[in-house]
A and B are shown apart, each in its own frame.
Chain A
């Protein structure tokens, strides 16, 4: 009896926690959507200035790191696939492989993971610090809604900027493969470009961008949620920041599996 009880409670406790978190996360999501889609029609405008400020942070200032990493990954991918394709004399297919795998998969995924580390964690840390310093309470007593003030601008900035960064990532990744191919594989520039254009269909790029939109929602909601549930000073902020990265990356990969399966089956 004791053992069964312990087993059930070991099973039940985390389930309840998970459900509570899910419920609150859902409420935060609903509140965010309300401030984006409903409140603007009731005269409470979206803070576009804030959206632009956040977009500069998440978008513009992330271009170097996203660009360099994508370029290197493109380069690596080209080298690794050339190694496999060379025995068959099929190195020209490096172009296909790199283009398709980057646009459909690695571009969105890499960008999302970089931005989780750069921006998702920053959202959690900022909102968490504000919560600990009573700044969230101060906002409320001034009659300002923290979701409208803090979450909506970050949410919109991510939704706009993550797909944009993904496009840059796709392009620079392919550029990496291109430079490797024309210098090390004896493939002429024009041949590589033609091969890439033929390999890619619009669908590849679009499915990648849809994914990155979903990833943006995950990063923004988990980051803000972890910020709002901070308790207990600086230590709590640190814990939530770490959690926001771990949970976001986990959910991003999970969503990736689901969407890839979906796009694959409806090919």
Chain B
């Protein structure tokens, strides 16, 4: 695999109010790989993702996509970058007022001068790709959770992006459907050489798809490496996560009882 970094994150620091969410994140994402950003709920992984697609601006630090810093871009420059990026949201985020077909066609209608008939064909191709042929005229509310994700993926792929970001692609899906999504993601990488960044905490899916894993903990990257390497890692937090151990909460009965008596 060529080691060309398509996304570079440099010393990314961000605050929500006074709380520091990201504490100097450094991360390279290479062309053609599937990078999984792993971490517990609330570790800042969704925040990191939202920075990568330009929805949030960091307090300090840089995010370079194909060598251009998106943190200092104006709206017009950002629009050009966004055309090369696809994003699959956790809840698919389909526009409920439009049909599935219109959802997929929207980016094409807005960003290209293509004829309507061409757009229709392209929409159909994208829906075929995710296994939703024939669902163009359904409303999102008529689809199941897994189908919504697929439709969201078709929309993310509409502009043939170079980089695809996925936020918890298998969240809320049964294992069979989740596996289907994982395989779809692998297919995209192999067939289209797409760079894919997946944020998740589902271990099963991580080891199916990941080329490389970056683990985020309390706003810092504590591990980067291949799936084999993470299994050998001796970092306690990584170990705890992989072995699914609960946090130690010492049940101090004395203290608990006395806290009930004395408010």
Q: Which residues of chain B have C-beta atoms less than 8 A from A126's C-beta?
A: 97
B237: min CB distance to chain A, Å: 29
Given contacts A144-B110, A145-B75, contact A138 B82 (CB under 8 A): no
Check if B82 sits within 8 Å of A142, measured CB to CB: yes
B87 CB within 8 Å of chain A: yes
- A-B pair number, CB within 8 angstroms: 49
B16: min CB distance to chain A, Å: 13
Check if B93 sits within 8 Å of A137, measured CB to CB: yes
Within the complex, which residue of A129, A133, A135, A141 is in contact with B53, where a contact is CB–CB below 8 Å? A141
A86 CB within 8 Å of chain B: no
A233: min CB distance to chain B, Å: 12
B118 CB within 8 Å of chain A: no
B78 CB within 8 Å of chain A: yes
Check if B82 sits within 8 Å of A134, measured CB to CB: no
Residues of A that sit less than 8 Å from B by CB: 126, 129-130, 133-135, 137-138, 140-145
Given contacts A143-B78, A143-B79, A144-B110, contact A138 B55 (CB under 8 A): no
A3: min CB distance to chain B, Å: 26
Chain B, residues 105-145, CB within 8 Å of chain A (1/0): the string is 01100110000000000000000000000000000000000
Total count of chain B residues near the partner, CB < 8 A: 25
B85 CB within 8 Å of chain A: yes
Check if A143 sits within 8 Å of B83, measured CB to CB: yes
Within the complex, which residue of A138, A140, A142 is in contact with B110, where a contact is CB–CB below 8 Å? A142
Check if B75 sits within 8 Å of A141, measured CB to CB: no
Report the Cα distance A144→B55, complex, angstroms: 12
Within the complex, which residue of B54, B75, B93, B97 is in contact with A138, where a contact is CB–CB below 8 Å? B93
B241 CB within 8 Å of chain A: no
Q: Which residues of chain B have C-beta atoms less than 8 A from A135's C-beta?
A: 93-96
Chain B, residues 50-72, CB within 8 Å of chain A (1/0): the string is 10011100000000000000000
B91: min CB distance to chain A, Å: 6
Check if A137 sits within 8 Å of B78, measured CB to CB: no
Q: Which residues of chain B have C-beta atoms less than 8 A from A144's C-beta?
A: 106-107, 110
Q: List 19 A-B contacts (CB under 8 A).
A: A130-B95, A134-B89, A134-B90, A134-B91, A137-B55, A138-B87, A138-B89, A138-B94, A138-B95, A140-B55, A142-B107, A142-B110, A143-B78, A143-B79, A143-B80, A143-B82, A143-B83, A144-B107, A145-B75
Check if A142 sits within 8 Å of B106, measured CB to CB: yes
Report the Cα distance A126→B97, complex, angstroms: 9
Interchain residue pairs A-B with the least CB separation, the first 7 = A143-B82, A134-B93, A138-B93, A143-B79, A141-B87, A134-B89, A142-B107
Q: Which residues of chain B have C-beta atoms less than 8 A from A130's C-beta?
A: 95
A93: min CB distance to chain B, Å: 50
Residue of A nearest to B53 (CB): A141
Q: Which residues of chain A have C-beta atoms less than 8 A from B50's C-beta?
A: 137
Report the Cα distance A145→B83, complex, angstroms: 13
Q: Which residues of chain A have C-beta atoms less than 8 A from B107's C-beta?
A: 142-144
Q: Which residues of chain A have C-beta atoms less than 8 A from B54's C-beta?
A: 140-141
Q: Which residues of chain B have C-beta atoms less than 8 A from A129's C-beta?
A: 96
